[in-house]
A and B are shown apart, each in its own frame.
Chain A
């Protein structure tokens, strides 16, 4: 069956061409939507069939390379359009097409009546096509095609509603348009791509090929562990990853990218494209295993990003911004996992995160839809009874991301935290653990302010539950968020950790190189697990207490969590302490220091400052071009003197 893999890619491409070229001829929205979503659904089915067949065959027989045609050839160096079918790429394919399909279905409802309906589906299908190229590529060049392609689609989709202003939250108040956000995303991403390209050139230099197969097979023989070349290659690839996956220092584009339609945020900026960096590093695991210094950097950057983004998330009032920072923070977790050598943990979290983060975004979209494009959570509240399906599914996703067992997020987060402790060190774990608490806190602040308490919206708004087309995908994703983690139940909890076994052959060379001591069953694992559940519960309870205090406790929904609530109520002084000593300073510090100063002042300043500097240089350099031909002749003469100087006098 694996030879049918190209058809998985062909289907979205057909969708793109049909909707893109004949969109105007297709009279009805329904037909365009059906085509758009249908091709992705078919691609998912095909991928599932292939995975089924793979599962049925022995482990060593699961990797195939499907070559379509020779793409580039020069001398002994050649690159083909070749797709690598293996456990990792097919897992990603399932996530991309599966979550992608649900979001496409949701979009039929969400984009209903939009004049750009067909264009939207064309772009979305093109995005899926490019994303599949990225994950299924059998060489770096094809991966780069996908890498650039998803960036391009992201650019087109962020600026989709180009006539709308958007709130940057800081710089350029009142004048920024969604197009500025689109441009920012594209340019920041190009900085990352610069790293990817240079790394690719260096790989050609070192191996004479770009095929994953050959590069990874020969890497352990070509490089000693800690070799400088492999350090630079991996570091530059990581620079590419920080751009695409929104890590420090290139994370600034992602929160602004929320200017696009919400399904776009869900698909591209939460579930799939932003995980490309994680996927790429996992794919190159053997190279990273040979560069321990880069691994440390990856772990450090991941951890720092997770912490910084989570604290920023505490004070945001735009529903999508909270989710955006949460995405950045969760991506940080994934990089932490990769950095400490838990490639499986990183990929596992990619998958579970795709489920619950897509669900959160789609839920947010449903809320925004109902509130007539209102995104400020301070102006929401009390939506739970009005939108029961959205509320329940959103709550499930929030519990999942907070890491409450047995939901999906618990297992993947626990895997990462445990590996951070056992393969990284106590410091990694402590910070990761704190971030888990912060995550639970800001998610439930969001839930409380949006759905709980009293309604703070005006009488002009009439929120209502979204249509079936939108709620059904929510429900499916909710189910996945609940059960998605069961494929990775650790052996210490009596599970069989299916995902680790499934991915094991892919990461085996890297793991052999890293050679971690297998500790077997460690009682500490249970302790850490308990602690992380505890801090998650604490975060949830704290958030609910603080943000629902103003509302009457008699509120029906709050009642359901009365045990937690009561528990904390009895330890009243701790809550006060928590509020006064931790929440307020963190909130204030986060607001002033991290967000206003660090994010807007430093990082944005750096990005905008560089752009400004280039523009300044551009403006002054052009003045050299005086218009006077004799000045040009002078320049010419100076050039001649330089040339002769270099040639004759060396």
Chain B
């Protein structure tokens, strides 16, 4: 049996990877994928906790998270496409009309 700490550590590392991706990548789609990675890292934690605690609540929440993440992807890609049509770029550091 693999101890809970292992799962949690893996989840934390994945989450941190996601955060670093959000902070450093310029392409909006990759940033978005990093965010998805963060959500899935949390899912891993939830499933591990659920197993460890012997309760199903965590797994139920994981299903909700997956459904929400799917909806979010649909919206996110739509927004990115709308932006690309007007601006012909996906680099988020070029999005600075709104500032100060």
Q: Answer yes or no: A622 CB below 8 A from chain B CBs.
A: yes
- Roughly how many angstroms separate A626 CA and B93 CA in the complex, as a whole number? 10
Known: A633-B23, A634-B23, A637-B19. A625 touches B92 (CB 8 A): no
Q: Could you tell me if B99 and A627 are in contact, using CB atoms closer than 8 angstroms? A: yes
Q: Answer yes or no: A630 CB below 8 A from chain B CBs.
A: yes
Binary contact track B61-74/A, C-beta < 8 Å → 1, others 0:
00000000000000
Interface of A is mostly: helix
Q: Answer yes or no: B52 CB below 8 A from chain A CBs.
A: no
> Which residue of the partner chain A has the closest CB to B28?
A629
Q: Answer yes or no: A175 CB below 8 A from chain B CBs.
A: no
> Which residue of the partner chain A has the closest CB to B99?
A627
> Which residue of the partner chain B has the closest CB to A622?
B100
Give the contacts of B27-59 with A (CB-CB under 8 A). 31
Q: Answer yes or no: A521 CB below 8 A from chain B CBs.
A: no
Q: Answer yes or no: A57 CB below 8 A from chain B CBs.
A: no
Known: A628-B92, A630-B92, A630-B93. A637 touches B23 (CB 8 A): yes
* CB contact between A629 and one of B19, B92, B97 (< 8 Å): that residue: B92
* CB contact between A628 and one of B22, B24, B31, B96 (< 8 Å): that residue: B96
Q: Could you tell me if B23 and A625 are in contact, using CB atoms closer than 8 angstroms? A: no
Q: Answer yes or no: B81 CB below 8 A from chain A CBs.
A: no
The size of the chain B interface, using a CB distance under 8 A, is 13
Q: Answer yes or no: A623 CB below 8 A from chain B CBs.
A: yes
- Roughly how many angstroms separate A629 CA and B31 CA in the complex, as a whole number? 11
The size of the chain A interface, using a CB distance under 8 A, is 11
Give the contacts of A588-628 with B (CB-CB under 8 A). 622-623, 625-628
Q: Could you tell me if A627 and B23 are in contact, using CB atoms closer than 8 angstroms? A: no
Could you say which residues of chain B place their CB within 8 Å of the CB of A629? Answer: 92, 95
- Roughly how many angstroms separate A628 CA and B93 CA in the complex, as a whole number? 5
Shortest Cβ distance from residue B23 to the other chain A in the assembled complex, whole angstroms: 6
- Roughly how many angstroms separate A629 CA and B22 CA in the complex, as a whole number? 10
* CB contact between B23 and one of A622, A623, A626, A630 (< 8 Å): that residue: A630
Q: Could you tell me if B92 and A627 are in contact, using CB atoms closer than 8 angstroms? A: no
Could you say which residues of chain B place their CB within 8 Å of the CB of A622? Answer: 100
Q: Answer yes or no: B1 CB below 8 A from chain A CBs.
A: no
Could you say which residues of chain B place their CB within 8 Å of the CB of A625? Answer: 99-100
Q: Could you tell me if B96 and A627 are in contact, using CB atoms closer than 8 angstroms? A: yes
A-B residue pairs in contact (CB < 8 Å), sample of 24:
A622-B100, A623-B100, A625-B99, A625-B100, A626-B96, A626-B99, A627-B95, A627-B96, A627-B97, A627-B98, A627-B99, A627-B100, A628-B95, A628-B96, A629-B92, A630-B22, A630-B23, A630-B31, A630-B92, A630-B93, A633-B22, A633-B23, A637-B19, A637-B23
